[in-house]
Copies of this chain bind each other. A is one copy, B any other.
Amino acid sequence: MAAAAPPPPPSPAPEAPNDVPQGSTPRGHPLFARIRLAHPTDVPHIHKLIHQMAVFERLSDQCIATEASLSSTLFTSPPFQSFTIFVLEVSHTPFVEHLQYNNPAYPPITKVVNLDLPINDPDRDLFRSNGGVLGGDACVAGFVLFFPNYSTFLAKPGFYIEDLFVRECYRRKGLGKMLLSAVAKQAVKMGSGGFAGSLVMLLMLMLMPSSSSSLGNFHTFFVGFRIQEMK
């Protein structure tokens, strides 16, 4: 079978409008953000996000994930017992609840981010949640993949974040932090349930500067985070 063509690269984020006179900048554009467990119907969006992440990391040649291979491997274990994905959605209007996304293992969490300017998302239709069939304005803006780990020095289980990605036009809005926080809160929640007393998260993210003018500099580097919740 011929390999499927990779999804299109991300459209460049448009420049912020510069014809808005100072002093009259509209304020209070609400952006509704929701984090929920990934669902098999999210695979086409997760696939595109992974390929955008590969472009971002300049590792496109190493990215061979397909929708079929993701579908057959991503949902083999109950949430949190093995690798797990949270999907980040955003919407200009409040989210419409839908049973499909109300997994009892993780009720979705929502937050309203007040922006100075509305976001122009050139790929909104491409990332419309569930293909738009559930109605509403929501689209997928990012994801985080994590799995249980264990610190031998602390004798405590925790979560290890393998990938975290937010689409370019939604960056610098606190949404990546919201994804991190959701994983941390889940670790604490599992800890408070007696799973492990107190939990530790050991996170390692690969970051790159947004500028491509990194000649002579490292363009990838690792950063470790340790979030410890002591009870």
Q: Measuring CB to CB, which residues of chain A are less than 8 angstroms from any residue of chain B?
A: 50, 53-54, 59, 62-66, 69-70, 72-74, 76-77, 81-83, 145, 147-150, 152-157, 160, 162-163, 195-197, 222
Q: A153 and B82: CB pair below 8 A?
A: no
Q: A73 and B147: CB pair below 8 A?
A: no
Q: A153 and B63: CB pair below 8 A?
A: yes
User: How many Å from the CB of A150 to the closest CB on chain B?
Assistant: 4
Other than the known A62-B154, A72-B197, A147-B160, what 15 A-B pairs have Cβ atoms closer than 8 Å? A50-B152, A54-B153, A65-B153, A65-B154, A69-B156, A70-B155, A76-B157, A77-B81, A81-B81, A83-B150, A145-B152, A149-B162, A152-B162, A160-B160, A222-B222
CB pairs A–B below 8 angstroms (30 shown): A50-B153, A59-B153, A62-B154, A64-B155, A65-B155, A70-B155, A72-B197, A73-B150, A73-B155, A73-B156, A73-B196, A74-B150, A76-B195, A77-B81, A81-B82, A82-B82, A82-B148, A83-B148, A83-B150, A83-B157, A145-B150, A145-B152, A147-B149, A147-B160, A149-B162, A150-B162, A152-B162, A152-B163, A160-B160, A222-B222
3 closest residue pairs by CB, A with B: A69-B155, A65-B155, A83-B150
User: How many Å from the CB of A183 to the closest CB on chain B?
Assistant: 15
> In chain B, what residue has the closest Cβ to A143?
B152
User: How many Å from the CB of A221 to the closest CB on chain B?
Assistant: 12
In the complex, what residues of B have CB within 8 A of residue A153's CB?
Answer: 50, 54, 59, 62-65
> In chain B, what residue has the closest Cβ to A156?
B73
In the complex, what residues of B have CB within 8 A of residue A157's CB?
Answer: 73, 76, 82-83
Q: B148 and A147: CB pair below 8 A?
A: yes
Bound-state CA distance A59–B159 (Å) is 21
In the complex, what residues of B have CB within 8 A of residue A62's CB?
Answer: 153-154
